[in-house]
């Protein structure tokens, strides 16, 4: 074929009409513009890469932010209040006196002999207060014993019945001289369900006494104290019909030697920490023996713990011997569930209230049985309406002499 489509590239026509006279002539090419552009771009990229390689990218990999710089202005300092801390002023600027502050603050302070501050004994408030007991164990009040930690009097004179006691707080709705009732419930720690029921149903001002045989005794007593209940150790003591009626291991017996009695006391007292004092479990025989009670009471006094007689033993010498050796003691006025029938429990609570109105205060003791917990819960809910203050058992220690109550922290 003679057309250009079928000729070799770069060759002229076969007719010899080209400038070379029949010789093949090369095809004319245009100026390579695209190649020049690509070359310039490549050169720029290489130049930039070379600069970064040599000097580094000053902003490479770093975030950027723009901040506006304002002139510094010194902070404005408020004028100091010339009134001292705790001072309450009138709207007109006059300062109020202490009695005026107390009268207008909704807080009622009762002092011994109508004295002015300091010396407040009981703070009365119109709303329920959250009371935290002192942490236990307090290192000042603990020493290592053969069977566990034992209470002791601190080097500064601190005692368990003072430090571990629940503070006395009563409602402002009550008169300053309102009758006081303390309730102490024993036998706790043996049944988890019963202990839980007492924690749930009874107010924190009710004092709890724990038997020494519970498996989770330290944990349960700690939980009771977290709920605001002060705690006591319930110590088994010899009844008249012992050993037919056996309170349990390490029972304190009248016939034991002083060494054996001390050993049993240390076993019992080392079962948990943070208790205010000791309460008897049974013990009519033991508490009627002067020599045995003297040994026990001296140990309680030496270790700074109080003793509460539950009121079940008419021949008890606890108060007499305690006074002789310097042990802080008191005695329950009514055993609430000596007869566990519901009507008998109600009658006992009524008798307790009557005693409190007559004498100014009364202590009731009960065992941790469902009927007692139920009746005590209902009884405590109505006390304030009847003008009676519910108070911890520790507040009624050594009633009559009064030093333990007067030294209480509000």
Between the CA atoms of 211, 162, 267 and 323, what dihedral angle is there, to the nearest 10 degrees? -100
The domain spans of the chain are 130-165+174-399
For position 346, what pLDDT does the model report?
98
What CATH superfamily is the domain 130-165+174-399? Glycoside hydrolase/deacetylase (3.20.20.370)
Predicted pLDDT of residue 15: 43
Average pLDDT along the chain, 410 residues, taken 10 residues at a time = 49 44 46 62 65 54 53 52 40 49 48 45 48 93 96 97 94 93 98 96 98 96 97 98 97 97 98 98 98 98 98 97 97 97 98 98 97 98 96 86 32
Burial class (CB in 10 A: 0-12, 13-18, 19+), 149: middle
Look at the alpha carbons of 18, 24, 25, 26 in this order and tell me if their dihedral is positive or negative: positive
What lies within 8 Å, CB to CB, of 256 at 6+ separation is 264, 292
Please tell me the predicted confidence (pLDDT) of residue 21. 44
pTM of the entire predicted model: 0.69
């Amino acid at each position: 074929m003679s057309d250009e489509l079928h000729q070799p590239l770069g060759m002229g026509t076969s007719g010899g009409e080209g400038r070379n006279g029949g010789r093949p002539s090369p095809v004319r090419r245009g100026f390579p513009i695209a190649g020049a552009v690509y070359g310039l771009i490549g050169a720029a990229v290489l130049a930039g890469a070379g600069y970064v390689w040599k000097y580094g990218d000053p902003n490479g990999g770093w975030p950027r932010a723009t901040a506006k710089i304002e002139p510094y202005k010194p902070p404005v300092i408020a004028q100091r209040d010339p009134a001292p801390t705790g001072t309450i002023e009138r709207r007109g600027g006059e300062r109020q006196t202490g009695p005026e502050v107390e009268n207008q603050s909704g807080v009622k302070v009762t002092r011994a002999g109508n004295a002015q501050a300091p010396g407040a004994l009981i703070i009365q408030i119109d709303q329920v207060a959250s009371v935290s007991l002192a942490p236990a164990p307090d290192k000042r009040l603990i020493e290592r014993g053969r069977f566990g930690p034992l209470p002791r009097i601190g080097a500064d004179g601190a005692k368990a019945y003072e430090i571990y006691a629940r503070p006395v707080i009563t409602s402002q709705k009550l008169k300053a001289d309102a009758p006081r009732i303390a309730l102490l419930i024993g036998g706790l720690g043996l049944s988890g369900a019963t202990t839980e029921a007492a924690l749930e149903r009874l107010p924190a001002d009710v004092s709890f006494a724990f038997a020494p045989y519970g498996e989770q005794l330290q944990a349960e007593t700690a939980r009771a104290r977290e709920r605001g209940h002060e705690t006591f150790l319930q110590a088994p003591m010899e009844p008249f019909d012992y050993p037919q009626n056996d309170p349990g291991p390490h029972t304190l017996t009248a016939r034991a030697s002083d060494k054996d009695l001390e050993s049993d006391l240390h076993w019992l007292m080392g079962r948990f920490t943070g208790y205010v004092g000791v309460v008897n479990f049974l013990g009519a025989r033991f508490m009627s023996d002067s020599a045995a009670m003297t040994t026990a009471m001296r140990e309680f006094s030496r270790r700074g713990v109080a003793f509460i007689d539950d009121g079940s033993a008419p021949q008890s010498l606890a108060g007499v011997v305690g006074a002789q050796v310097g042990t802080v003691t008191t005695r329950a006025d009514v055993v609430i569930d000596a007869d566990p029938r519901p009507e008998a429990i109600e009658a006992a609570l009524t008798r307790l209230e009557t005693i409190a109105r007559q004498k100014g205060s009364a202590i009731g003791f009960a065992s941790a049985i469902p009927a007692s917990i139920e009746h005590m819960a209902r009884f405590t809910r109505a006390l304030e309406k009847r003008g009676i203050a519910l108070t911890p058992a520790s507040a009624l220690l050594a009633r009559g002499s009064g030093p333990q109550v007067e030294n209480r922290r509000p």
